[in-house]
Amino acid sequence: MEETLYEKIGGEEAIAKVVDYFYSELVLKDETVNHFFKNTDMEKQRRHQTKFISFALGGPNQYSGKGMAKAHEGMNIQPDHFNAIAKHLHDALAHFGVKEADIDTALTKVASLREDILYK
């Protein structure tokens, strides 16, 4: 049986490290997108995002958050914002040694959510 991307990356513990780096070193330092997180409980956000990304990469479904459209309601996220976040995810995964082909697979899954996130 083929290993899932979740397993290849190292499971939830490894994804939690990627998510922590993603926010602390990339997203929150990027003035084009950090305002979206100004009033966000970042510990809760990190836990939530770790569960979501784990599920999206083939891990167990522990995600119990809002749907994508509902979660991004009122944010008016534009394509440039979405692209910046996707680039930061790419860079965070690359920072932890994830192969480019696996990063592409992960970003394809993220891109499939684009219509549920933009302009809400």
- Show me where the domains of the chain are located: 5-117
**AA identity, residue 34:** N
pLDDT in tens, 45-85: 999 899 888 888 888 877 666 777 888 888 999 999 999 99
Q: What is the pLDDT of residues 30-46, one digit of tens each?
A: 999 999 999 999 999 99
pLDDT, residue 80, reads 96
User: Residue 120 above 80 pLDDT?
Assistant: no
Taking the C-alpha atoms of residue 91 and residue 97, their distance in angstroms, rounded to an integer, is 10
**pTM, full prediction:** 0.89
Which stretches within the chain are classed as H helix?
Answer: 5-9, 11-21, 42-56, 68-71, 79-95, 100-111, 114-117
Instruction: Give me the architecture of the 5-117 domain, per CATH.
Output: Orthogonal Bundle (1.10)
